[in-house]
Amino acid sequence: MHAAKPEPAQPFLPFARPTIDETMVAALADTLRSLWITSGPQVLAFERALSEYHDGRPARVFSSATGALEVALLTIGVGPGDEVIMPAQTFFSCANAIARTGARPVFVDVDPATRNMDLSAAAAAITARTRALMPTHFAGLPLDMDALYALARARGLRVIEDAALAIGSRWKGRRIGSFGDIASFSFHPNKNITTIEGGALVFADEAEARRAEQYRFHGIARLPDGTRDVVVLGGKYNLPDVNARLGLLQLARLEEFIARRRHLVARYFGRLQTDPPCELPARGDDGHSWNFFAPLLPLDRLAWTRKQVMDALAARGIGTGVSYEAVHLTTQYRALGHREGDFPHAERIARETLTLPLFPTMQDADVDRVCDALRAVLHEARG
């Protein structure tokens, strides 16, 4: 008798993957062949497309969303001695952008269900030095925009929305970035659309958009005689045309990508049942663009650590991530005096969160595979 052949190993399933097809590859090759590969006509076309997508508001693109955040802060005049209020549960780039202007990031806790900035905590943190609010639309779930802008108007504050995870998200039917103050988007490969690396700002004011252009490229202003002047202390954050060409094709498919993400998330909600149970993220409504799906692990009922759970899933061919660590507990921001217990909700999310695979080219069977694997791992990990 012959021994049964072993089942073939399933391919590794990462927690994020960009959607790149052959049309996109060919378009990038055409851009390379044009020999205009740094900022040029494709950047202008991408900015026009982003503007149209956001109801005609001026858009500018950058080499990264982190650079875009820093430029946004500089554009509205944030600098040494100022404070900017932000959630303690978000990616590190927000705090770093604030700190690099010489201002101080002021952390506040988040709502435990939505994981968005607690606006009552933000209101309590406002001082005479506060210049702006920088909320994150967590995982693509919009913050309460009515309450956010009511607070900003009442206290005379600017708003820079960290919408890195939220291009295509909507609040009461209106796209994030199509109203409000300044919105910042990310086009990193694990976001809803990608330009390989890149980001964008969408403004309410054309004059501020033009000022951001100066900060984006060395602070340069062109003079009537064709020479150049440096009018602000700028950096170099311009996006190449190669990246912008990809962005144009990605943007054209954004609604398709989001629809697929929502379908996969609905399957997660229907299939993800573990013992002990995970705490699932807030579902929101049909305005949620679902950049990622991150339940909270029941670590208080497990004998394993999160790392052990992640390693066990990796052994089954499933990649996971952590979205996100608590910013105030990093070495850089502990130096401002922060300690455990400052923001309990953000800290609990940071301890227990686990980002599961979610990207448009996933199949329904992939979601089932993740759910089955996590169920088996948590059963094994029970204390």
pLDDT in tens, 274-309: 999 999 999 988 999 999 999 999 999 999 999 999
* Same-domain pairing of 144 and 242: yes
Catalytic: 236? no
Give the pLDDT band (50/70/90) at residue 353.
very high
pLDDT 10s digits, 94-121: 999 999 999 999 999 999 999 999 999 9
Mark whether 226 and 315 lie in a shared domain. Answer: no
Flag whether pLDDT at 7 surpasses 60: no
Residue 271 included in any domain: yes
Could you tell me if residue 3 is inside a domain? no
Q: Does 371 lie in the same domain as 245?
A: no
Q: Is the pLDDT of residue 229 over 70?
A: yes
* pTM score, whole prediction: 0.96
Q: Are 219 and 201 in contact (CB under 8 A)?
A: no
Q: In angstroms, rounded to a whole number, what is the distance separating the alpha carbons of residues 212 and 364?
A: 43
Q: Are 169 and 288 in contact (CB under 8 A)?
A: yes
Tokens of 34: 């044009």
Look over the chain and give the mean of its residue pLDDT values, rounded to a whole number: 96
CATH of the domain at 156: 3.40.640.10
Predicted pLDDT at 228: 97
- pLDDT band of residue 1 (cuts 50, 70, 90) is very low
Please give the biggest Cα pair distance in the chain: 89
Token digits of residue 196: 């390989």
The answer to whether residues 195 and 233 belong to one domain is yes
Q: Identify how many contiguous H helices and E strands the chain contains and give both numbers.
A: 13, 11
Q: How many Å apart are CA 14 and CA 327, to the nearest integer?
A: 24
Residue 133 and residue 29 in one domain? yes
* Residue 305 and residue 351 in one domain: yes
**376 assigned to some structural domain:** yes
Q: What is the pLDDT of residue 93?
A: 98
pLDDT for 343 equals 98
Quick one: 218 and 281 in the same domain?
no
Chosen domain end from 230, 252, 274: 252
User: What pLDDT was estimated at residue 250?
Assistant: 98
pLDDT at 3: 47
Both tokens of 296, joined, read 């909270």
> CATH number for the domain including 260?
3.90.1150.10
Instruction: Give 383's pLDDT tier (boundaries 50, 70, 90).
Output: confident
- The total domain count for the chain is 2
Whether 16 maps to a domain, the answer reads no
179 in a structural domain:
yes
Does 221 score more than 80 pLDDT?
yes
Listed residues 196, 227, 252: the one ending a domain:
252
DSSP secondary structure letters along 296-337: BP-GGGBSS-HHHHHHHHHHTTB--B-S--BGGGSHHHHTTT
Q: Looking at 252, 278, 305, which one is the last position of a domain?
A: 252
Is there a domain that residue 205 lies in?
yes
Measured CA to CA, the distance from residue 15 to residue 308 in angstroms comes to 17
Span 122-137, average pLDDT: 98
Clarify whether residues 280 and 349 are in a common domain. Answer: yes
pLDDT at residue 9 in the model: 74
78 lies in some domain: yes
Q: Do 161 and 310 share a domain, yes or no?
A: no
Active-site annotation holder among 172, 191, 236, 307: 191
Q: Is residue 43 part of a domain?
A: yes
The whole domain housing 321 covers: 254-381
In this predicted structure, what is the pLDDT of residue 6?
Answer: 46
Q: Are residue 175 and residue 208 in the same domain, yes or no?
A: yes
Cis bond before residue 41 (omega within 30° of 0): no
Is the per-residue pLDDT at 35 higher than 90?
A: yes
pLDDT band for 8, please (50, 70, 90 cuts).
Answer: low
Whether residues 224 and 259 share a domain: the answer is: no
If asked whether residues 234 and 280 sit together in one domain, one would say no
